């Protein structure tokens, strides 16, 4: 046997020893022996030997995808199985699982994809074979990766055909199954053969800037490593550069040069954590990273709380590193990293992975669709491609034009995709003929029409549900114009107030206010003043300290001058005097405590409802005093002989004796000055509880009535309920 083949198998077998149970090692050796018996040193068209190719495919299956012994054996024997005379021998030696995988691969190999567009039935059979057992897909992806790695040895026609087929079928399948790095490598190799100039440009620049990146990473990770070591974390950190294809695509979509692609690489922190502690450990590390470097909350991605459908779990943060460069940090555990590296296959190692069931549902759904005899193949191919790329959807305009949007896009995103003016004025629309709201989430294949109105304007809450960058940027731009107008108005209000208070408007006073309200920009503060979110009375207190202003001074800060002149004060303007006839519409008795003439009271100056009068014992008084002390004013009743009418609530309870309700009503009706509004009595087990709502002249009158009620035989308790 060829010495090179023996060495290659020996190295491969060492990898298998750490990934495959010892009891199955003989199967791998037997598969290698059978491959050597059948092919010996025969070469493929590419110049690579059949056996060497099989070893390399099997190595990808076990090392890069992480599959078990049946898949490894299938990878080793796929070329043998294509020779019909060995099918039975393989089944006898290795079992039906191996032959099932090989049968699926053989069908795919026999059909080919030369005329996928024209021979839709072949495409259907191809997908049926693949959807039958997910391992068929995974081993075939490994086989394709090996072919792509060795594509240099083929002629240009073969390179073009294989790379186009790979970019349209195998790369998206690898992506959907969570094999991100295999997907990236496949797409890089596709770019290499489809657009060599682009590939070489990016690859050269990456190599040229390699040392610069390495120095930057070393500077960046040092303080984080120190902190994590101090806290006792077991971890490793490594930097991963973006794929060539990914960089090139970003250069094209953003129309920038290589030097302007800021996220050329990501730094990964991989924790050695126990399963129960994984989430908390990741969040602790996130806290350490963001304490050291300023984070960009808009680029925060939490796939730990809710993993992706293919099982991907990781915590992504973008932080401002040395030299003012933004850097993506990926925080995950060893288990999460293996799932990210090996996708679906890693879930078979870590039982109960959340992505497995979702993937199985997807594969079952593909099979169900394919087995439908009425299937429209054009629709199916479109649907398959859309669902494989789960990060984007395709929808249609009323005229049938195709539009691509991010997954999760809403009707409003679609409106902005059509035109920014359409988005600004969108009020709703129709999806597949049914009326929907702006928030309606779109699905692949939806046909959409948009309704607009000239009076419609972008709203702040629109940012909560749109997902496309185009929509967000336009909404923010429109809102910024509105904010600017409000901020100018707020600044005028503040300048006028500060002039009245005889406080200098300068940088020191603005800094004091920004610090108090925890704001970064003066414009934010002016805007909040204009919309009433920041109270000018509170601003005064912040700038001059707590000062005991008279009632008249406090009210003058809020109410118009003509309204203040209608109010009555006494004691040197210290108290607002409340007329017991309550004819003054500027103040009202608060319904939360129903103050009556004679109660100790205070006034609360509201923004829209004038002055509310509360009892000093009002249950809401402590909260108002703590949160809005600058709105509290002293108040007292006007001493007058005039009678007035105030609502009061009385709670009464006692023994449920015959005629007790009649006696209560009699006592109230005897007092000609008391008007009954309502009476509600409940009795249970010989006792009663009741609530009386009455109108009285004042506190003395109420006390007199309550004493009368207490004198009724059977009444045990009488109290004021407000």
- Identify the pLDDT of residue 85: 83
Sequence-separated contacts (24+) of 604-609 with Cβ below 8 Å: 604/628, 604/631, 604/632, 604/633, 605/554, 605/555, 605/558, 605/559, 605/631, 605/633, 606/631, 607/532, 607/558
Q: What is the mean pLDDT of the chain?
A: 81
Closest Cα partner for 355 from 368, 370, 340? 340
208-240 tens-digit pLDDT: 888 888 898 899 999 999 999 999 999 999 888
Closest Cα partner for 486 from 425, 456, 520, 528? 528
What percentage of the chain exceeds 70 in pLDDT?
A: 83
Q: How far apart are CA 47 and CA 57, in angstroms?
A: 16
Tell me the HSE value of 635 on the side-chain side, using a 13 A CA sphere.
31
Q: How far apart are CA 477 and CA 462, in angstroms?
A: 13
How remote is the C-alpha of 634 from its chain's centroid?
48
Q: How far apart are CA 433 and CA 449, in angstroms?
A: 8
442-465 tens-digit pLDDT: 987 788 999 999 989 898 889 999
Q: How far apart are CA 625 and CA 604, in angstroms?
A: 9
| DSSP H or E run through 5 | helix 3-19
- Among the listed ranges 77-81, 271-275, 345-349, which one has the minimum average pLDDT value? 345-349
Q: How far apart are CA 128 and CA 122, in angstroms?
A: 10
Contact 689, 682 (CB under 8 A): yes
- Identify the pLDDT of residue 659: 82
Model confidence at 117: pLDDT above 50? no
465-499 tens-digit pLDDT: 998 878 887 888 888 777 888 888 888 888 888 88
Closest Cα partner for 430 from 453, 414, 454? 414
Mean pLDDT of 412-422: 92
Q: How far apart are CA 310 and CA 603, in angstroms?
A: 61
Q: How far apart are CA 338 and CA 64, in angstroms?
A: 10
Structural tokens at position 416: 């902005």
651-706 tens-digit pLDDT: 999 988 888 888 888 888 887 578 888 888 888 888 899 999 888 888 888 888 99
Can you list the positions of beta strands (E) in 103-246?
Answer: 235-241
Quickly tell me which residue has 């009433």 as its tokens: 532
641-652 tens-digit pLDDT: 666 778 889 999
- Among the listed ranges 144-148, 318-322, 538-542, which one has the minimum average pLDDT value? 538-542
At 410, is the pLDDT very low, low, confident or very high (cuts 50, 70, 90)?
very high
* Integer Rg of the chain from CA: 39
328-365 tens-digit pLDDT: 999 999 989 888 877 655 655 554 434 445 445 555 55
Model confidence at 581: pLDDT above 70? no
16-45 tens-digit pLDDT: 988 888 999 999 999 999 999 989 888 888
- Identify the pLDDT of residue 389: 42
Closest Cα partner for 173 from 335, 343, 365, 408? 343
Contact 54, 75 (CB under 8 A): yes
Q: How far apart are CA 93 and CA 101, in angstroms?
A: 15
- Identify the pLDDT of residue 641: 65
Contact 166, 192 (CB under 8 A): no
Which letter does DSSP use for residue 506 in this model? S
Alpha helix segments (H runs only) across 466-550: 469-501, 507-517, 522-530, 536-544
Quickly tell me which residue has 């003043």 as its tokens: 529
Alpha helix segments (H runs only) across 293-410: 334-342, 344-349, 354-370, 377-388
Q: How far apart are CA 660 and CA 644, in angstroms?
A: 29
Contact 193, 159 (CB under 8 A): yes
- Among the listed ranges 9-13, 194-198, 492-496, 705-709, which one has the minimum average pLDDT value? 492-496
Structural tokens at position 101: 């995988």
DSSP per-residue codes, 154-169: S-HHHHHHHHHHIIII
Q: Is the dihedral of CA 660, 662, 663, 665 positive or negative?
A: positive
Mean pLDDT of 309-321: 84
Q: How far apart are CA 436 and CA 442, in angstroms?
A: 10
Model confidence at 630: pLDDT above 90? no
Tell me the HSE value of 324 on the side-chain side, using a 13 A CA sphere.
0
Cα three-residue angle 492-493-496, rounded to 5 degrees? 85
Give the Cβ contact number of residue 9 at 10 Å: 25
Q: How far apart are CA 223 and CA 288, in angstroms?
A: 10
Model confidence at 292: pLDDT above 50? yes
Q: How far apart are CA 628 and CA 267, in angstroms?
A: 48
Contact 330, 300 (CB under 8 A): no
- Listed in sequence order, the residues at least 6 apart from 363 whose beta carbon sits closer than 8 Å to its beta carbon are 131, 134
Contact 290, 319 (CB under 8 A): yes
DSSP per-residue codes, 405-469: EETT-BHHHHHHHH-HHHHHTEEEEEETTEEE-TTPBP-TT-BEEEEE-TT----GGGGGT---H
Exposed e or buried b per residue across 249-285, where buried means at least 16 C-beta atoms within 10 angstroms of its C-beta: ebbeeeeeebeebeebbbbbbbbebeeeebeebbebb
| Cα→Cα distances 219→110, 215, 441, 551, Å | 54, 6, 44, 61
């Amino acid at each position: 046997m060829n010495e090179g083949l023996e060495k290659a198998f020996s190295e491969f077998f060492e990898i298998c020893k750490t990934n495959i149970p010892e009891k199955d090692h003989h199967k791998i050796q037997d598969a290698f022996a059978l491959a050597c018996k059948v092919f010996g040193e025969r070469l493929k068209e590419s110049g690579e030997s059949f056996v060497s190719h099989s070893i390399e495919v099997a190595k990808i299956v076990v090392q890069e995808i992480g599959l078990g012994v049946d898949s490894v054996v299938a990878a080793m024997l796929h070329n043998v199985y294509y020779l019909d005379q060995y099918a039975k021998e393989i089944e006898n030696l290795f079992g039906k699982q191996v032959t099932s995988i090989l049968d699926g691969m053989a069908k795919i190999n026999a059909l080919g994809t030369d005329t996928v567009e024209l021979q839709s039935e072949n495409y259907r059979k191809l997908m049926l074979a693949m959807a039958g057992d997910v391992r068929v897909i995974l081993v075939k992806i490994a086989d394709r990766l090996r072919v792509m790695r060795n594509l240099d040895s083929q002629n240009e026609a073969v390179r073009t055909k294989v790379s186009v087929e790979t970019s349209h079928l195998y790369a998206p399948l690898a992506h959907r199954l969570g094999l991100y790095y295999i997907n990236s490598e496949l797409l890089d190799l596709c770019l290499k053969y489809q657009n060599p100039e682009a590939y070489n440009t990016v690859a050269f620049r990456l190599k040229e800037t390699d040392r610069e990146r390495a120095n930057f990473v070393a500077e960046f990770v040092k303080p984080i490593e120190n902190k994590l070591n101090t806290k006792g974390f077991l971890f490793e950190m490594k930097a991963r550069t973006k794929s060539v294809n990914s960089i090139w695509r970003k250069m094209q979509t953003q129309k920038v040069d290589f030097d302007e692609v800021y996220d050329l690489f990501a730094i990964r922190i991989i924790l050695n954590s126990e399963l129960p502690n994984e989430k908390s450990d990741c969040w602790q590390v996130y806290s350490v990273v963001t304490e050291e470097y300023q984070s960009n909350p808009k680029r925060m991605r939490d796939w730990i709380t809710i993993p992706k459908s293919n099982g991907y779990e990781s915590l992504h943060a973008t932080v401002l590193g040395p030299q003012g460069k933004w850097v993506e940090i990926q925080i995950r555990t060893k288990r999460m990293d293996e799932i990210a590296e090996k996708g679906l296959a890693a879930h078979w190692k870590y039982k109960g992975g959340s992505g497995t069931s979702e993937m199985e549902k997807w594969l079952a759904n593909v099979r169900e669709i394919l087995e439908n005899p009425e299937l429209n193949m054009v629709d199916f191919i479109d649907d398959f491609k859309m669902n494989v790329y789960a990060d984007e959807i395709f929808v249609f305009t009323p005229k049938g034009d195709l539009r691509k949007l991010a997954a999760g896009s809403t009707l409003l995103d679609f409106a902005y995709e059509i035109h920014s003016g359409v988005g600004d004025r969108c009020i709703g629309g129709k999806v597949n003929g049914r009326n929907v709201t702006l928030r309606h989430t779109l699905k692949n294949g939806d046909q959409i029409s948009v309704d607009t109105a000239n009076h419609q304007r972008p709203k702040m809450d629109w940012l909560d549900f749109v997902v496309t960058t185009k929509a967000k940027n336009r909404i923010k731009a429109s809102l910024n114009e509105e904010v600017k107008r409000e901020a100018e108005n707020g600044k005028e209000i503040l300048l006028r107030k500060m002039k009245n208070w005889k406080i200098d408007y300068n940088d020191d006073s603005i800094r004091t206010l920004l610090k108090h309200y925890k704001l970064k920009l003066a414009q934010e503060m002016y805007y909040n003043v204009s919309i009433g979110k920041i109270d000018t009375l509170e601003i005064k207190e912040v700038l001059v300290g707590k000062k005991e202003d008279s009632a008249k001074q406090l009210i003058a800060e809020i109410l118009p001058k003509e309204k203040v002149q209608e109010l009555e004060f006494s004691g040197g303007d210290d108290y607002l005097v409340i007329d017991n006839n309550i004819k003054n519409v500027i103040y009202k008795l608060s319904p939360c405590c129903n103050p009556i003439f004679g109660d100790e009271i205070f006034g609360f100056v509201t923004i829209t409802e004038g002055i509310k009068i509360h009892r000093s014992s009002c249950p809401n008084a402590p909260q108002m005093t703590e949160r809005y002390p600058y709105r509290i004013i002293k108040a007292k009743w006007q001493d007058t002989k005039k009678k007035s009418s105030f609502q009061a609530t009385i709670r009464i309870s006692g023994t449920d004796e015959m005629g007790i309700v009649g006696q209560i009503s009699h006592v109230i009706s005897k007092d000609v000055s008391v008007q009954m509004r309502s009476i509600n009595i409940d009795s249970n087990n010989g006792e009663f509880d009741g609530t009386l709502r009455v109108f009285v002249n004042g506190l003395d009158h109420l006390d007199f009535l309550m004493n009368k009620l207490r004198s009724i035989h059977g009444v045990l308790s009488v109290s004021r309920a407000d």
